Structure 1
Amino acid sequence: MVRIGYTMMTEQAGPRELVGHLVGAEQAGFDFSVISDHSFPWLEAQGHAPYAWSVLGAAAQATSRIPLMTYVTCPTFRYHPAVIAQKAATMQLLSEGRFRLGLGSGENLNEHIVGAGWPAAHVRLDMLEEAVDIIRALLAGGHVSHHGTHFDVDNARLWDLPDDPPPIGIAVSGDRSCEIAGRCGDLLIATEPKEELLTAFDAHGGTGKPRGGQLPVSYDPDRDAAVARAHEQFRWALGGWKVNAELPGPASFDQASAHTRPEDVAEAIPCGDDLDAFADAVSPYVEAGFDEVALVQIGGDRQDSFLAWSETKLLPALREL
């Protein structure tokens, strides 16, 4: 049975609201949760970008059952990998073993703020692989020094270590990232239900490891309102990750999606309250071989109604898949 997760979308709600929504998601019966780690929203209409790691710390104390995960953190620009290792160890302790560390090669939207430039994708993936090696070494304990192609670590050590290090997930979009995920990761993260990603993951050591996907949805009893909200706040998602990783700010995403129509968004994202439409959107992930799917309810002010509907109707329906 596929596990259904809840996404704390930092781009569309403030920190206290995000924690409150997660408490509701735990009560509604979601199997796990994930959180985006951004310094900018995709579009100004979303309007938020609180610090994900502070939210996670509060969430660990406000909940008791639901697993937590970054979805995803880039450990190469805004954060040095040694700092990420400390964050992850601390979160695993605070959550009493409920944390997973999701990592990816990042987006220009978030990483440009430190002024380090934005290299080509193959360079970013090389940086990600080196960062994962550093993080794993630190989580294993002891002193770590590293002098690599992209990073230096000088006699670092984590003084507060969990008994079990958090599993590391790697976001994938093509062959090279699938290679890194299969060889260096404990699970795969994807935003598209492409079976070829899982095949490539398995070919490089991913066989038997979990694989998770993510899906935006727009619940509302008024379908027209759901479509309008999805178009206003999530039309950027139709651009694809090869484009979305490169654009530098909300104005760029606004311009890039200027000709995306509401009907285009409604075709790609389930909108309204038709359970069959939501199930049909999740089904490709299940059929491709994904173990879990994290839902993103669009609209920071529409979480409570979505959670109530999920508890009584959506989650039972999806668990029949």
Structure 2
Amino acid sequence: MVELGYTLSSEEHGPMDLVNHATRAEEVGFDFASISDHFHPWVSQQGNAPYVWSTLGGVASATDEIDVGVGVTCPIIRYHPALLAQATATVADMFEESGQQFYFGVGTGENLNEHVTGERWPSHSVRLDMLEEAVEVIRKLWTGEMVSHHGDHYTVENAKLFTLPDDDPPICVSAYGDQTAAHAAEMGDGFWSVGPQDVVQTFEDEGGEGPKFSQLTVCYADSEDEAVETAYEWWPNSLLPGQLATELGTPQFFEQACQMVEKEDVREADSILTDPDPQAHIDSIREFTDAGYDHVYVHQIGPDQEALFDLYADEILPEFR
């Protein structure tokens, strides 16, 4: 049975709006929420990038039942993994108090967010090595023991966490290619992706177990023309080809690259659903479940989140209950 989630889009909304969206998602009946972890928005129009760990404190205080995940954090450059071990342990403890599950999604990141400390942006293979070591450091610290670690990429000296949840949150590893999916199966407690990526099969074939998350990006409006206009204005970055999304360093660079995106590209794109027909949403979610995902979360592009909440409360969520 699929669990349906809602995206807390940190690039488009301020922290208190995100907290309010989480409470609405809970009221509507979503099973979980996923929040993005960005230092910058993709393009300036999106206008936000609040600190995710502060926002999660607000979400934990304002909600009672809905599970929450970070989809996803890059624990290798902008953050030292020891600090993330503390942040995630604290957040997991807060959600655990009311019986909510916290999921920790991790990945190799984008230059857009990670360059800000002035550290070198390595190749993907190096970042994957760093991710494996970072996960190792985080798991060591979650034991509550005194930890010293001297690895290829990170040093930890005499560190011990005193605030810990009763159970470690699942670490769900993001992957978009077969090589990374195989590594995800080895180091993770679950899988995280965007779109119905077929590499989830690689994750399973390599022995990966646990929840499998993926995001459906939509723009729901009264008409498809209105949805296309909104998506073109607020989220053209999802139409960029290849590896640009991981390599470009600033919102301004993304805006320059997005000049190659036309409105008709948005209408025809597989990566954004703009059809207002509820059946199109139902069919898209089933595409994800057919691919092997058991946690599908929906990102509504643009300011109007209530339109999506109403649609899913009335038409979509009951179809999957």
> Which TM class, normalised by the smaller chain length?
over 0.9
In the alignment, structure 1 residue 144 sits paired with structure 2 residue 151? no
Which letter maps to 1:200? T
SS at match of 1:183: helix
Instruction: Provide the rounded CA distance (Å) in 1 between the counterparts of 2:290 and 2:268.
Output: 20
Distance 1:240 1:167, change over 3 A: farther
Cα deviation for residue 173 of structure 1 reads 1.1
Cα deviation for residue 74 of structure 1 reads 0.7
2:40 aligned residue: 40
1:45-104 deviations in Å (ceiling 9; x for gaps): 111111111110100010000011110011111110011110111011111152111111
SS at match of 1:245: helix
SS at match of 2:243: helix
- Contact kept in structure 1, 2:278 and 2:311, CA below 8 Å: no
Structure 1 segments unaligned to the other structure (5+ residues) = none
1:111 aligned residue: 114
Please identify, of 278-287 and 31-40, the stretch whose mean Cα deviation from structure 2 is larger.
278-287
SS at match of 1:219: coil
Cα deviation for residue 204 of structure 1 reads 2.7
- Contact kept in structure 1, 2:240 and 2:261, CA below 8 Å: no
Distance 1:202 1:246, change over 3 A: same
Instruction: Provide the rounded CA distance (Å) in 2 between the counterparts of 1:139 and 1:244.
Output: 32
Cα deviation for residue 267 of structure 1 reads 2.2
Cα deviation for residue 272 of structure 1 reads 4.5
Cα deviation for residue 240 of structure 1 reads 4.6
Instruction: Provide the rounded CA distance (Å) in 1 between the counterparts of 2:27 and 2:268.
Output: 31
Tell me the C-alpha RMSD between the 2 structures.
1.4
1:302 aligned residue: 304
Which letter maps to 1:245? T
Which letter maps to 1:136? R
Percent identity over the alignment?
44
Instruction: Provide the rounded CA distance (Å) in 1 between the counterparts of 2:220 and 2:201.
Output: 32
Alignment of 1:50-129 (within 5 A): 50-96=50-96, 97-129=100-132
Instruction: Provide the rounded CA distance (Å) in 1 between the counterparts of 2:45 and 2:316.
Output: 27
How many residue pairs get matched? 316
Cα deviation for residue 180 of structure 1 reads 2.1
Instruction: Provide the rounded CA distance (Å) in 2 between the counterparts of 1:46 and 1:281.
Output: 25
2:260 aligned residue: 259
Cα deviation for residue 13 of structure 1 reads 0.6
Instruction: Provide the rounded CA distance (Å) in 1 between the counterparts of 2:118 and 2:318.
Output: 47
Which letter maps to 1:222? S
Cα deviation for residue 128 of structure 1 reads 0.5
Cα deviation for residue 199 of structure 1 reads 2.5
Cα deviation for residue 176 of structure 1 reads 2.7
Selected match of 2:195 from 188, 192, 195: 192
1:26 aligned residue: 26
Cα deviation for residue 284 of structure 1 reads 2.1
Distance 1:240 1:205, change over 3 A: farther
Instruction: Provide the rounded CA distance (Å) in 2 between the counterparts of 1:241 and 1:314.
Output: 32
In the alignment, structure 1 residue 246 sits paired with structure 2 residue 275? no
Cα deviation for residue 108 of structure 1 reads 0.4
1:139-189 deviations in Å (ceiling 9; x for gaps): 122011111111001111110111101111111011232122101111100
- Contact kept in structure 2, 1:125 and 1:176, CA below 8 Å: no
- Contact kept in structure 2, 1:74 and 1:103, CA below 8 Å: yes
- Contact kept in structure 2, 1:10 and 1:35, CA below 8 Å: yes
Structure 2 segments unaligned to the other structure (5+ residues) = none
Instruction: Provide the rounded CA distance (Å) in 1 between the counterparts of 2:193 and 2:225.
Output: 29
In the alignment, structure 1 residue 130 sits paired with structure 2 residue 114? no
SS at match of 1:72: strand
